[in-house]
Structure formats: structure tokens, C-alpha cells
Chain A
């Protein structure tokens, strides 16, 4: 099953099972079915509850928040995650605060789906990964699936979570095949569930041997990380534990500890800019909780501190690549 199919199926099942579920977004109606075709076929099936909107991220997010306060379960799509900035006021000053401001008389169980990420040559304003900006907003959860997770299941769990959730998808992942956790390939795949609704997937070639390094990642780049892990194993016999989080906030630090205890070396890999990033926050938490196990400082790999170029050749220089991950690992182990 493909990533996009998993999401579409989950939306379909949610709409069928609960009449409170509404999809709101720009261009999500058939025949277009959304910029990335996640909602294709759904507006025909559920014409009352799949709602196309004008181009106003603030407006459509605000409508979603209003619906959720009145007991509905809205799922809002921001066509490109870059324009989450336009909805930021609604999320930060409304969705995240209302529960507290109104003494828990209202809940805001809204899910905001945001396709993020580059590697497609879409240029500086359609390629960013801005989710880290919301790490410092209390009461906003951030969830991101990878092809090693079940994106549909994570989406359903996000809606059950009873609080505003940013659901970070990736443009390049939609067409990818999911890797089932039962697959009997060369990798050992293990689910770590310190946050039961949002498990971390451990992908490793260790097969009982102690790993050399712990690589923590999420989203689309985690697949690149797994590829690097395979190559490093085949070339240098370096064993990399790749831990792929689905809960970006809160951080499932307990899922990472077992591996960190073995390796003592941690590399974080994400697509967003390194400065003030998810990796920066995670690194702090690791240093605070696992310092005695560390053999080296935590290292971060992410995008460079520049806008993302339109030229694909230059874009790959700015975003994390197989090469930059590989270099970081070899440097940490040398």
C-alpha cells in the first residue's frame, strides 16, 4: 500500500464511521481531489462534509477551530505547509489556548494536515519544513508519519488525541510504498511504544550485535537514513540503529534510550533548518537525560541556514542528503 492510499483510506473510514468528521481545505474537491490527491473521491462520497474553501489558510483553520469547539471533528488541509504561517495566529492564539482560557469548557480536537518538505524543486516558498516553529507552542501536538509507519492509523490517532495536532506529511512520501512492520527483509523492524498512539519504529541491521550509532529521524528523510544505514553496513560494517519517531512533540525519549545506552553516540536527522530545530531540542533532552551514556556530543544533520533554492542541484546541497548523513556518521565514528 502507498502512503497516500493509507491516508485516503483512513479519511474515508473516519468519514464513514463518525458523522462529526469534516474535511476542510483548498481544492480538495473532486475531480481535482487535492494538490496531492489525498482526498480524491471523498467529496463525491461525502458531499456534505468535504468542504472546499477560498484561498485563506487563516480563514479555513479558524472555521475548523470553531467546528471543533462545537463538538465536531474537523481535519483541515493546508495545501502547502509553507503557508501554515498564515494560520499561525489561529493555531497559537486560539486553538492552543482556548481550553485553558475557557477553563476546559471547550476542547479543540482539530487535526491540521500540512504537506511539508522539498526535494521537488518547488523553490523557497513551497519546499520548507516549518514544523519546528511550533515546538515551543504549549498544547500543540506534532505528528509525522513515515513509510515505516501506518500513516492512516496515525491520522486516526491524531483525531482521537483531543487537542490541536499538526499532522506533517511529505510531498515525496505520497507515492512511496509503505514498508510493513512484519516484512522479513534484511532489516529488523521493531515498534517502540512509550507513546502508544504514536509509536517509534526502530530499523536496524544489528541482529543481536551492539550497534555503533543511534540515528534518530522522522518523516521522509528517515527513508534516506535507512538507505545510508544499509550502505554503511555493506561497505564498512557500521551498524546504525535508525529510530523513526512519529511523535515529534512530545518527544518519545524513552523509545530512544535503550539504543543510546548501547551506542553512546546520537545523530539526529531532519529536513528542517538545523538552527532552533527539532534536533536541537532533542539533543538538549538527550544531554539532560542520557548524559552518562554518551560517548560523544549529539550531532544534528538538517537543512542549511539559507532559503531553499529552486534549482534541484542546489536544493540537494541545502537539504540533508545521503552524502551529508554518511559524512556525519563517519566523522562521529572516526
Chain B
């Protein structure tokens, strides 16, 4: 026969108590009037006894909160009876905000699995959970999966530690890589002393590998017009660099765990990794589009040295830096950190927690010190632009270009654009296909350039780039060959 042990009313004002200790093992033996557990009220800790002897099964675990009158444990002289006892212990209901419930339903997430930062589950907790579970479940696709640019093993063996090969002219090296099976598009340069040792190699149009760069990977993919600076050391399992990437000299991608199963470095388009950056790719580093790292930035995806069994701490995890984020000089980012879109990390910061979109973080450890405050109206943008144009006209003047050839117009008809001028506008009305020959429009509403590009438009584009205004088409190199100059 099963006897219930019920939490008694401990005093007049308390409706619940917390289980702090179970004195016996589950399904262990209990004798009559033996103390079975201790419960804590706001006033004191009290022991609860069993009125009968037999085997005991607890209904709660330590630190559970139990309401007065609920069953704490069952006691029976028949062990089978207890093991077969199927009881639905009412779990405390999960509290979540309306937004969180809606989002969880949308993403198909079970709220019971989400761990909230506070006592109530918020939208943010769901997003974090979704991101973490996504991260674990989706395997990234690399060029090895699609068998692109498979390089012959014998070629790799031949060029490894081969000083003569490294010093071959670029054209020769490109040819040899193509013959060995690598996908190397036109315009690619592999400068003096540079070598790529990888099982799969894809180098897109006009990509450049700087002097003396050593690249050793399982897969290596470099996007169109992307530049790896001089003396780069890229030593990690998977590298997938997007289009129009630019890196300064002496960057290091790799470090601890560089050839681990999850080691990778992935970027979107138009990213900048300045000189002397250290990217520890052991547990994966992903940069979105238009992410910039200033010189000497360090991204670590692992830290360990001391014995965790002795109470020390170790941390492994990826780093994700979202579109348009900017990490300025000498900052450090630790594992398991996500930096939101458009966030700014001020120099010398150490980022140890996630950074929300558009936030400005500074200090050690980095804390929020501000938010980007975007201009609300076209009029606000015009005010900013008008100051910028004054500077542009001064620069054009120095270049002996008549400033009148650059014109700002808030809104302009395609048919009204003159071919003698370069037009900046916030609104372009009409079909751009009908633009007159020789006419150029910088559309600031969608950051698009229409028309033929010349040395002068490149200069304007470069001027804008220095103020963070990047235009599409993204395929554009701001360092000119002198012979392009036609003005």
C-alpha cells in the first residue's frame, strides 16, 4: 500500500517551501518516524518525517519549490508498486512574454528547452537559443563538398617546401595551379614567395595573394577582386573569403585548434581585415558583409590552460560578426560572442558578451557606451551630405577638376540627367536604361552607381568610401593603375 508524505502547513503565512535535502536514496529503505527530507521556509529549515516504514520514492528534487498540501514523497512496503508508480508531478508553468511565445511558435521552438536570462523568457532568449541550435545543427558547405578545384596530391607534395616554386613569376604559378586542378580565374596574381597548399583551391577573378604569403588549408576559396596582403599566414581547415575582401600585411588566421573539425574562417563581401590581425579560427569565425577589423584586432575562439576539474574555466566557441560591424584597433573578442550588425567596438576593448545591433561598446570588459542614432529624414541626410560636398569640392579643386561637374539634386528625372555632369541624388525617377551615354548617377537611396565609370567617378567613389559610403556594383578596386587616368 502506498502512503503519501504531504508537505504540512508550516506556518500561517507560508504557502510553499523549498526542498533543501533528501536524506535517503530514491527507492531506498525508510523506517517509521525517520526523517526523510528537509524543507526551507522563509523563516527556518524543518525536517519532515515518514509516519510509516518501507521503501521511499521522492516526488521532487532538491531546490524544487513545493506548495503546502502537495505530495513530497511516497512510501510503500512493495518496491514494485513504487517503481511502477506513474505520477504526473506538476512542473511549474513556464513564463514567457507574448513576443517570446509568438516567436517560439513561429520558429517551432519548444519553450521548455529555452533557458532565460531572467525569470521570464523573452524574445531575446528565443533568438539566442535559435541561433545556438542552428549553429550546432547546420553543417557549413565548403568547396570540398562540391568537389570544386580539387588539386592533385602529387602536385601538392612537389610544391611543399619548394623555394623555387614560390619564387616563380605569378603567371607561371597560376598556370601550374590550373594544370594541377585548381580553379583559378583570369586576372589572378600570386605574388613572389606566395604559395597555397590546399586540397581544394578556388581563386575568383582578379584575386591577389600578397608577397610571401603562406596558405595551408584543406579548402581555400578567395572571392572576386579580393586581396590577401603581404606576408599573410593562413593556416586553418576551411577558408571561404567573399568578394572584394581586403587584408593588410602580416595577418594570421589559424592559431590554436586551427585544423580542428570545426575550424573555419568565412566572410561575406567587402570585408576588411587590417594588418597584424590575429584570427583564431579553431572554433569558427564568421564575418558578415562589410565587416572591418582595424590593425592588431584579435579574435579568439578558445581559451584553456588550467585544469577545469580544479575549478578553472575554459571556453570554446565561435565568433560571429554581423554585417557592417566595425572593430577598431587592438580590440580583443573572446569565444562565444556575437557582434550585431552595424555595431562599433572602440579601440582597446575586450568584448566578452554579445553586442546588440548598432551598439557602441568600449572598455575592458566592453560595455555599451552608446547607440548609433540614424538620421530620421531625407532632410537630415541632406544636411550631412551638404557638409560632405563642401569637402569634395575642395578636393576636386585640388585635382584641378571643375567642381561644377559634380552636382547634387535631391530628386532627378533620368531624362534630365546631363552627360556633362556627375549627379548625386536621393531619388532617381524613371528607367535607368534610358540614361544618356556618358551620364553618371550616384543614387544615395540605394547606394547604387549608374552609368559609365571613369577616373573621376572612381575618385568620388573613393572619397565616399572614406566616409563609409560603399556603392554597388561592389566590384571596384580603389587603387588605380596609372594608365587608367584619362582626365
Q: Which residues of A contact B (CB under 8 A)?
A: 1, 180, 182, 185-186, 205-210, 233-237
Contact = CB atoms under 8 A, between A and B. Distances in A.
Contacts of A208: 117-118
25 contacts: A1-B13, A182-B42, A185-B119, A186-B95, A186-B118, A186-B119, A186-B120, A205-B120, A206-B118, A207-B117, A208-B117, A208-B118, A209-B117, A209-B118, A233-B97, A234-B97, A234-B120, A235-B97, A235-B99, A236-B98, A236-B99, A237-B97, A237-B99, A237-B100, A237-B122
Given A186-B119, A207-B118, A234 B42 contact: no
A210 B119 CA distance: 16
A226 to B, nearest CB: 14
A233 B99 CA distance: 10
Nearest to B122: A237
A186 B98 CA distance: 16
Which of A185, A206, A209, A237 has the most CB atoms of chain B within a 10 A radius of its CB? A237
Contact of A234 (B13, B98, B117, B118): B98
Contacts of A237: 97, 99-100, 122-123
A233 B13 contact: no
Contacts of B119: 185-186, 207
Interface of B: 13, 42, 95, 97-100, 117-120, 122-123, 368
State the main secondary structure of chain A at its contact with B: loop
A235 B119 CA distance: 15
Nearest to A5: B13
Contacts of A206: 118
Nearest to B119: A186
Contacts of A182: 42
Contacts, number: 34
A237 B13 CA distance: 32
Label chain B's interface by main secondary structure.
loop
B13 to A, nearest CB: 6
A210 B42 CA distance: 30
Contacts of B123: 237
A184 B272 CA distance: 48
Contacts of B97: 233-235, 237
B93 to A, nearest CB: 12
Contacts of A233: 97, 120
Nearest to B100: A237
A138 to B, nearest CB: 41
A205 B116 CA distance: 13
Contact of A235 (B95, B98, B117, B368): B98
Contacts of B117: 207-209
A259 B155 CA distance: 67
Contacts of B120: 186, 205, 233-234
Contacts of A186: 95, 118-120
Contact of A205 (B99, B118, B368): B118
Nearest to B99: A237
A210 B122 CA distance: 14
A117 to B, nearest CB: 25
A9 to B, nearest CB: 13
Contacts of B99: 235-237
Nearest to B116: A207
Contacts of A1: 13
Contacts of B95: 186
A236 to B, nearest CB: 7
A180 B120 CA distance: 20
A207 B116 CA distance: 11
A233 B118 CA distance: 12
A180 B42 contact: yes
Q: For A185, A206, A207, which residue has the most chain B Cβ atoms within 10 angstroms?
A: A207
A327 B106 CA distance: 29
A3 B97 CA distance: 31
Nearest to A187: B119
